[in-house]
């Protein structure tokens, strides 16, 4: 993709805004250690603003702001790189093309997912929080609706993530899709909700509503 001058100006402005926001006293992310690795240099070196795809074979995976920079494992300890690899593999197995973007304007899985779907050439996107919660979204649905939702991240394994990729690709192909069978463990909440809160707080501290979504 060609980067024109206007785009570069936009990125620089977004970065400056992000940095100055973080330095404001009282801001949620004002603590020194939270300034994080999204430094100016890192952001510009190879990370481009995400574009809207035109290829109907494309399925976009949107990841949360802390993905693999601040949080490296899901709530039940799966390596985030492996999670992503499995989703991508699932998409590829169906003959479709995965693309990954990182969303900064929200840490909510539904909003990450709809952003991915809107950028996706096929209109199908996958939202993935750093703690592992995922959904399959479609660009013309209400933000808080979805095609399939996997709300209990502690119950997801790499096979499920691969299946999520496969099903998303099938929706993109316009096939009649049988959703992945739901799983439910009533003891998930007692065991994991506090951990989920702490992980989500970490991700939410990196939310910046003015920062553009980038290719990841």
Partner 1 sequence: MRRSKRMEILENRPVNKDGFINEWPEKGFIAMSSPYDPKPSIKIENNIIVELDGKKREDFDFIDKFIADHGICIDRAEKSMAMDSVEIARKIVDINVSREEILEIVSGITPAKMVEVINELNVVEMMMGMQKMRARKVPSNQAHITNLKDDPVQIAADGAEGALRGFGEEETTMGIARYAPFNALALLIGGQVGRRGVLTQCSAEEATELELGMRGLSTYAETISVYGTESAFIDGDDTPYSKAFLNCAYASRGIKTRFTSGSGAEVLMGNAEKKSMLYLEVRCLYMTKGAGAQGTQNGSVSCVGIPAAVPSGIREILGENLVASLLGLECASSNDQTFTHSDLRRSARTMLQFLPGTDFIFSGYAGEANYDNLFAGSNFDAEDFDDYNVLQRDMQVDGGLRPVKEEDVIRVRRRAGKAVQAVFKYLGLAEITDEQVEAATYGHGSHDTPNRDVAADLISANDMMKRGITGVDVVRALAMTGFEDVADSILNMLKQRITGDYLQTSAILDEDFRVISAVNHPNDYMGPGTGYRVEGKRWEEIKNIQNVIDPNNL
- Chain residues binding partner 1 by CB under 8 A are 28, 106-108, 111, 142-149, 151-152, 176-179, 181-182, 184-198, 200-205, 207, 209
Name which of 53 and 152 has its Cβ closer to partner 1: 152
- The answer to whether 101 touches 116, Cβ cutoff 8 Å, is yes
Closest to partner 1 by CB, 26 vs 41, is: 26
Query: What is the helix (H) or strand (E) element at residue 61, kind and residue range?
Result: strand 58-63
Buried b (16+ CB within 10 A) or exposed e, 98-113: bbbbbbbbbbbbbbbb
**Nearer to partner 1 among residue 97 and residue 206 (C-beta):** 206
Q: Is 27 helix (H, G, I), strand (E, B) or coil?
A: coil
Q: Closest distance between partner 1 and the C-beta of residue 45, in Å?
A: 28
CB of 148 to partner 1, least distance (A): 6
Distance CA 100, CA 61 (A): 5
Minimum distance, C-beta of residue 82 to partner 1, in the bound complex (Å): 25
Q: Which is nearer to partner 1, 17 or 82 (CB)?
A: 17
Q: How far apart are CA 208 and CA 205, in angstroms?
A: 8
Pairing, β 58-63 against β 148-150: unpaired
Q: How far is the CB of 132 from partner 1 (least distance, A)?
A: 15
């Amino acid at each position: 993709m060609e980067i024109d001058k206007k785009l570069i100006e936009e990125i620089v402005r977004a970065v400056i805004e992000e940095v100055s926001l973080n330095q404001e006293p009282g801001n949620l992310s004002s603590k020194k250690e939270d300034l994080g690795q999204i430094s100016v240099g890192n952001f510009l070196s190879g990370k481009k603003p995400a574009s809207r795809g035109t290829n109907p074979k494309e399925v976009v995976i949107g990841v949360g702001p802390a993905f693999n920079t601040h949080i490296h494992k899901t709530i039940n300890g799966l390596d985030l790189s492996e999670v992503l690899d499995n989703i991508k593999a699932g998409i590829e197995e169906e003959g479709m093309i995965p693309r990954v973007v990182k969303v900064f304007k929200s840490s909510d899985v539904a909003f990450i997912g709809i952003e991915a779907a809107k950028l996706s050439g096929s209109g199908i996107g996958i939202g993935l929080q750093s703690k592992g919660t995922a959904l399959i979204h479609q660009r013309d649905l209400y933000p808080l609706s979805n095609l399939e939702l996997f709300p209990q991240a502690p119950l997801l394994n790499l096979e499920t993530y691969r299946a999520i990729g496969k099903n998303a690709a099938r929706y993109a192909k316009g096939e009649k899709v049988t959703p992945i069978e739901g799983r439910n463990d009533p003891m998930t909440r007692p065991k994991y909700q506090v951990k989920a809160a702490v992980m989500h707080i970490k991700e939410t501290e990196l939310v910046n509503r003015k920062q553009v979504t980038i290719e990841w």
